Amino acid sequence: KAGVTQTPRYLIKTRGQQVTLSCSPISGHRSVSWYQQTPGQGLQFLFEYFSETQRNKGNFPGRFSGRQFSNSRSEMNVSTLELGDSALYLCASSSVAGVSTDTQYFGPGTRLTVL
Amino acid sequence: SQQGEEDPQALSIQEGENATMNCSYKTSINNLQWYRQNSGRGLVHLILIRSNEREKHSGRLRVTLDTSKKSSSLLITASRAADTASYFCATDAMGGSYIPTFGRGTSLIVHP
């Protein structure tokens, strides 16, 4: 099976812009989760989607949003970008809901740089 | 604040030696997971250990969990240069909404 894919792999934006990141889970997986990784804050959970519904949400402002489509592909959107949004954004998929209860498979990440 | 905290922050060993990393957490958990991350890339799931388990093995990996001390350890035996990576533990608080909390990781360097 193909692994989790994320597009684009690298992105450069300027403050105030918005960005959309995409994640395609492993075939058959219905749960997709998003994480932000920065040197300062480490790895932080953003949200989890299962069957097009947001199940859990981390402690991030409303500028961070996501959605999941019927084919389980997911997008994450960040509006009004700030310098602090520069990070590696990781997507993970699993076959069941509940990110802590099953093995998650991570994609390679999207490196976002905000100038 | 971080729920899981790994110790040490960095570890440098020679090939063939064993590497031990520890993870401490604050509140009671449902599960604890260990992940590996090669430089700037996605995470690879290593082991999930449930709160009612005390030890699990997977190949050269051995994970222990001591819920009374709120700590876990990851042992990599007979390390290889390819084990060079950052290792993270992730926990979810019991009674919570299964939101995983990651520590800052242990950076392991295995010298050939």
Best of A86, A100, A110, A112 to mutate (most B CBs within 10 Å, chain B): A100
Q: Where are the alpha helices (DSSP H) in B1-112?
A: none
pLDDT of residue A56: 85
Nearest chain B CA: its distance from A41 CA (Å):
8
User: Nearest 5°: CA angle at A56, between A50 and A60?
Assistant: 125
pLDDT of residue B96: 57
State the DSSP H helix or E strand holding residue A32, giving kind and residue range, or none if neither. strand A31-38
> For a pLDDT cut of 90, what percent of chain B falls above it?
64
pLDDT of residue B1: 42
Q: What is the pLDDT of residues A20-42, one digit of tens each?
A: 999 999 999 999 999 999 988 88
- The pLDDT-based confidence of A101 (bands split at 50, 70, 90) is low
- Residue A18 sits at φ, ψ, to 5 deg, of -120, 160
B99 to A105: CB separation less than 8 angstroms, yes or no = no
Contacting residues of B for A58, CB less than 8 Å apart? 99
Q: What is the mean pLDDT of each run of 10 residues along chain B (112 residues)?
A: 75 97 88 89 89 95 96 97 94 68 91 94
